[in-house]
Copies of this chain bind each other. A is one copy, B any other.
Amino acid sequence: VTAFVPTYDLPSVNRQILLGRRPDGIPLEADFMRREASIPEIAHGQFLVRNLYLSVDPAQRGWASDVSNYSTAVQIGDVMRALAVGAIVDSKNPAFPAGAYVYGWFGWQDYAAASANDVLTAFAAPVAPLSAYAGLFGINGLTADISLSRYGHVAPGDTVLVSTAAGAVGSLVCQLAKAAGAYVVGLTGSDAKCRKLLDVYGLDRALNYHVPDLDEGIAAAAPEGVNLFFDSTGGPVLDMVLRRMAVAGRLIQCGTASIASWSPLPLGPRNEREILTRRLSWNGFVVFDHLSEFNAAISRLQHRMAAGQLHFEEHILQDFGQSAGALELLYSGRNEGKLLVWTG
CA distance A286 to B276 in the complex (A): 7
| Stretch of A265-273, A315-323, A329-337 lying at the B interface | A265-273
Residue of B254, B266, B286 touching A270 (CB-CB under 8 A): B266
A105 within 8 A of B: no
Asked if A267 and B269 make an inter-chain contact with CB atoms under 8 angstroms apart, the answer reads yes
- Are A277 and B234 in contact (CB-based, < 8 A)? no
Give the distance to chain B from A150, nearest Cβ to Cβ, in Å.
Answer: 10
Tell whether, in the assembled complex, residue B253 and residue A272 are in contact, meaning their CB atoms are under 8 Å apart: yes
Q: Is the CB of A285 within 8 A of B276?
A: yes
- Could you say which residues of chain B place their CB within 8 Å of the CB of A231? 272
Assembly CA distance A270 to B256 (angstroms): 10
- Given A266-B270, A269-B266, A284 and B276 contact (CB-CB distance below 8 Å): yes
Query: Considering the chains assembled together, what is the distance between the CA atoms of A231 and B247 in angstroms?
Result: 19
Given A256-B273, A262-B273, A270-B234: A281 in contact with B282 (beta carbons within 8 A):
yes
Say yes or no: B284 contacts A283, CB within 8 Å.
no
A263-307 interface bits toward B, Cβ cutoff 8 Å, 1 = contact, 0 = none: 001111111111111111111111001000000000000000000
What B residues does A235 contact at CB under 8 A? Answer: 270, 272
The CA-CA distance from A267 to B277 in the complex, in Å, is 18
Is the beta-carbon distance between B270 and A267 smaller than 8 angstroms?
yes
Residues of the B chain whose Cβ atoms lie less than 8 Å from the Cβ of A286: 276-277, 279
State the CA gap A265–B269 with chains docked (Å).
6
In the complex, how many angstroms separate the beta carbon of A72 from the nearest chain B beta carbon?
A: 12
Rounded to whole angstroms, the CA-CA distance of A337 and B248 in the bound complex is 31
The answer to whether B272 touches A238, judged by C-beta atoms less than 8 angstroms apart, is yes
Task: Please encode chain A, from 47 to 64, with 1 for each CB lying within 8 Å of some chain B CB and 0 for all others.
Answer: 000000000000000100
- The answer to whether the Cβ of A69 comes within 8 Å of any Cβ in the partner chain is yes
Q: Is the CB of A247 within 8 A of B279?
A: no
- Protomer copies: 2
Do residues B275 and A253 form an inter-chain contact, with CB atoms below 8 A? Answer: yes
Whether a CB of chain B sits under 8 angstroms from the CB of A12 is no
**A2 beta carbon closer than 8 Å to chain B:** no
User: CB of A211 within 8 A of chain B?
Assistant: no
| Whole-angstrom distance between the Cβ of A281 and the nearest chain B Cβ | 5
A284 CA / B284 CA spacing, docked (Å): 15
Chain A, interface residues (CB within 8 Å), range: 35 or more
Residues B276 and A253 in contact, CB atoms below 8 Å apart: yes
Interfacial chain B residues near A117, Cβ < 8 Å = none
Provide the residues of chain B in CB contact with A275, threshold 8 Å: 253, 282-284
Give A239 Cβ to nearest chain B Cβ, in Å.
9
Report the separation of the CA atoms of residues A276 and B282 in the bound assembly, to the nearest whole angstrom. Answer: 10
Q: Which of A62, A70, A234, A276 has the most CB of B within 10 A?
A: A276
Q: Are A70 and B277 in contact (CB under 8 A)?
A: yes
Nearest CB to that of A283 among chain B residues? B281
Q: Is the CB of A70 within 8 A of B279?
A: yes
Q: Nearest CB to that of A231 among chain B residues?
A: B272
Q: Which of B247, B254, B271, B278 contacts A276 (CB 8 A)?
A: B254
Closest Cβ neighbor of A249 among chain B residues: B284
Does A255 touch B at the CB level, under 8 Å? Answer: yes
A68 sits at the interface (CB 8 A)? yes
Let me know if A259 is at the binding interface, CB within 8 A: yes
The 10 closest A-B pairs by CB, nearest first: A234-B272, A275-B284, A279-B284, A282-B282, A276-B284, A268-B270, A70-B277, A265-B269, A253-B276, A267-B267
